[in-house]
Copies of this chain bind each other. A is one copy, B any other.
Amino acid sequence: MAKRKATAPAKPPLTDMALNLIALRFRALAEPMRLRLLNLLMQGERTVGQLVTESGSGQANVSKHLAVLREAGMVGMRKEGLSTWCFIADPMVNELCEMMCQRLREEMESKAKALS
């Protein structure tokens, strides 16, 4: 029997459920405020209150966004006294954002060059 090449690009079509799960994850990254929270957490752990202050958004809003990120497995939380400390729980988040930023930089520079 032929063994499947590891580099074989022939990918099977994804099921509806898989598509929904993947879309759910990407949706967690599809809001500027959530990206801002992740961006702040990339500098280190923060309490919810600190994120409220530094994000400039309201407390209820930050709490809800953090819930979305937590359900997506991207942010973790641990309670310590009255405060809740948040941290990035999935290093993939950094990679994804890094890739996207890099790609955007390339495109913008390309467009800028086209205008010069």
A95 near B99: Cβ-Cβ < 8 Å: yes
Closest CB in chain B relative to A45 CB, distance in Å: 10
The answer to whether B30 and A26 have CB atoms under 8 Å apart is: yes
Q: A11-B43, A36-B19, A107-B73 are in contact. Are A26 and B92 (CB under 8 A)?
A: no
Cβ B25 vs Cβ A100 within 8 A: yes
Q: Determine whether A9 belongs to the interface, using a CB cutoff of 8 Å to chain B.
A: yes
Q: Per-residue 0/1 for A26-50: is the Cβ within 8 Å of any B Cβ (1 yes, 0 no)?
A: 1101111011100110111000000
A94 — which chain B residues lie within 8 A by C-beta?
9
Q: Say yes or no: B11 contacts A42, CB within 8 Å.
A: yes
Query: Which residues of B lie under 8 Å from residue A10 when comparing CB positions?
Result: 43
Q: A18 on the interface (CB 8 Å rule)? A: yes
CA distance A99 to B44 in the complex (A): 24
Are B43 and A19 within 8 A (Cβ)? no
Binding site for B on A (CB under 8 A): 8-11, 13-14, 16, 18-23, 25-27, 29-32, 34-36, 39-40, 42-44, 73, 90, 92, 94-97, 99-101, 103-104, 107
27 residue pairs bridging A and B, Cβ less than 8 Å apart: A11-B42, A13-B36, A13-B39, A13-B43, A18-B101, A19-B32, A19-B39, A22-B29, A22-B32, A22-B100, A22-B101, A22-B104, A23-B29, A23-B32, A23-B35, A25-B103, A25-B104, A26-B26, A26-B29, A26-B30, A26-B35, A26-B100, A30-B30, A90-B103, A92-B100, A92-B103, A96-B96
